[in-house]
């Protein structure tokens, strides 16, 4: 019984630390807390190609669908969080007519990521926040 409890605790710790069996080229896609800009950029590149009516090269329909869904969901969750926290120290001033059109969010984030490749090692959620702050600055 003690061994089982110890094993469960070790597994929980390993999962919490984000340790996964990935190749070295994939490791930079994951930060301690979640996806990095390196992981977000390629999936959002796929979404941008679809929005621009281009067929992403080298991907199956299933992979295109997965990438697009992942990009939209990650950005939507981050935007919802920032919008809910807008009265705190996180200063993003979403306009009153701010809509939930996913394409505009993806375009804002993709532009930010491609304009700031030096920041791709950062956490995706932070980069999304920075993109939204840049797109919707607060004017005093």
Q: What is the CATH number of the domain that holds 97?
A: 1.10.890
- The total of other beta-carbon atoms located within 10 Å of residue 51's CB is 15
Domain assignment present for residue 96? The answer is: yes
Residue 2 lies inside a defined structural domain of this protein = no
Please check whether residue 49 lies inside any domain of the structure: yes
| φ, ψ of residue 38 in degrees (nearest 5) | -60, -30
- Burial label for 57, CB within 10 Å (0-12, 13-18, 19+), is exposed
pLDDT class for 54, splitting at 50, 70, 90?
A: very high
Q: Does any domain span residue 10? A: no
DSSP string for 72-97: HHHHHHHHHHHHHTTTSS------TT
Kindly tell me if the per-residue pLDDT of 25 is higher than 90: no
- Residue 116 included in any domain: yes
Under the banding of pLDDT at 50, 70 and 90, the label for residue 29 is: low
pLDDT in tens, 87-136: 656 678 877 777 667 888 999 999 999 999 999 999 999 999 999 989 98
Measured between alpha carbons, how far is 128 from 74 in angstroms, rounded to an integer?
A: 9
Neighbours of 94 (CB within 10 A): 15
Residue 1 lies in a domain: no
> What range defines the domain where residue 35 resides?
21-135
Domain count, the chain: 1
Distance CA 110, CA 40 (A): 9
H or E element that contains 114: helix 102-115
- 7 inside domain: no
Strand partners, 123: 36
Please compute the mean of the pLDDT values over residues 32-51 and round it to a whole number: 89
* pLDDT one-digit tens code per residue, 58-90: 999 999 999 999 999 999 888 888 877 766 566
Query: Does the residue 72 lie in any domain?
Result: yes
């Amino acid at each position: 019984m003690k061994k089982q409890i110890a094993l469960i605790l070790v597994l929980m710790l390993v999962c919490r630390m984000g340790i996964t069996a990935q190749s070295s080229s994939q490791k930079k896609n994951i930060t301690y807390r979640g996806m990095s800009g390196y992981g977000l950029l390629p999936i959002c590149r796929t979404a941008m190609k679809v929005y621009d009516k281009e067929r992403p090269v080298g991907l199956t329909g299933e992979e295109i669908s997965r990438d697009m869904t992942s990009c939209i969901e990650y950005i939507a969750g981050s935007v919802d969080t920032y919008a809910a926290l807008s009265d705190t120290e996180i200063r993003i001033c979403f306009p009153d007519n701010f809509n939930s059109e996913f394409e505009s969010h993806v375009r804002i984030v993709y532009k930010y990521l491609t304009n700031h490749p030096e920041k791709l090692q950062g956490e995706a959620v932070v980069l999304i926040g920075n993109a939204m702050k840049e797109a919707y600055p607060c004017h005093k």
